Amino acid sequence: MRDSSKLLLATIAYDGSAFYGSQSQPNRPSVLGSLRNAFACCGLFGKILCASRTDKGVHALRNVVSIPLPYAPKNLDVLRAQLNKHLLPHIAIVSLHIAPSGFHARFDAKARLYRYIIAPQKPNVFQSRYVHFHDVCDWERIARAIRIFEGIHDFRFFAKQSEKNTICGMHKVRAFWWNQHFVLSFLARGFLHSQIRFIVQALLLHGSGRLELAELREQLDATKRHTCELAPPNGLYLCRVYY
């Protein structure tokens, strides 16, 4: 049964390279650990719920969290500024709202948009935490192949072995160029642990001629696993959660 008390809904952005993931980690910096400390400084001590978990090194432009609201803030903009004093430079509250009655940050999400950013130019030490530097011979090959991941599939060979239910669907999958970067875009209601990084690495192998389209299809059909490599986390961004 859902809690009927009021919730504070925060849209957050963070630099994943500063944390060991979004979930709390013993004796290690985490996004939720930092949020818990900042909320406590403003008199908010309830359980924080997160719309989407992210791994170590994965970034977010607009993740969503909620926390019980024991008092009525006079001004949400003032509260946001107070929170950001404790969170910056690695986390920023983008916006604050009072959530609708019965809202659940995770289960009410209709879709999540992730994007993976690849830079084909020479590595730059000032960008290495935020893009994956990789030179691929045939980018068009990747753009064509990525479409096969749309729809409902058994992603058991594109997920961690600990996953129990690996049948899930992707609404829209695309590849495009943006500001001299190659972007792989994935829209789905939910994702398996490391699913996108498995897919991205397989696509990069395909673009380099080391994995054929037929082999990609075999792995997607869960008949044969040809690669179990993970793309680095630094190129992955949670861009938006849709409600």
Q: Which residues are catalytic?
A: 55
Q: What count of other Cβ atoms lies within 10 Å of the Cβ of residue 160? A: 14
Q: Residue type at 163?
A: E
CA 99 to each of CA 105, 122, 237: distance values in angstroms, whole numbers, following the listed order: 9, 45, 24
* Pairwise CA distance, residues 192 & 149, whole Å: 14
3-state secondary structure at position 205:
helix
Q: Which residue has the tokens 């959660």?
A: 241
Q: Which of 25-43 are b and which e, b meaning 16 or more Cβ less than 10 Å from the residue's Cβ?
A: eeeeebbbbbbbebbeebe
Contact between residue 8 and residue 96 where contact means Cβ atoms under 8 Å apart: yes
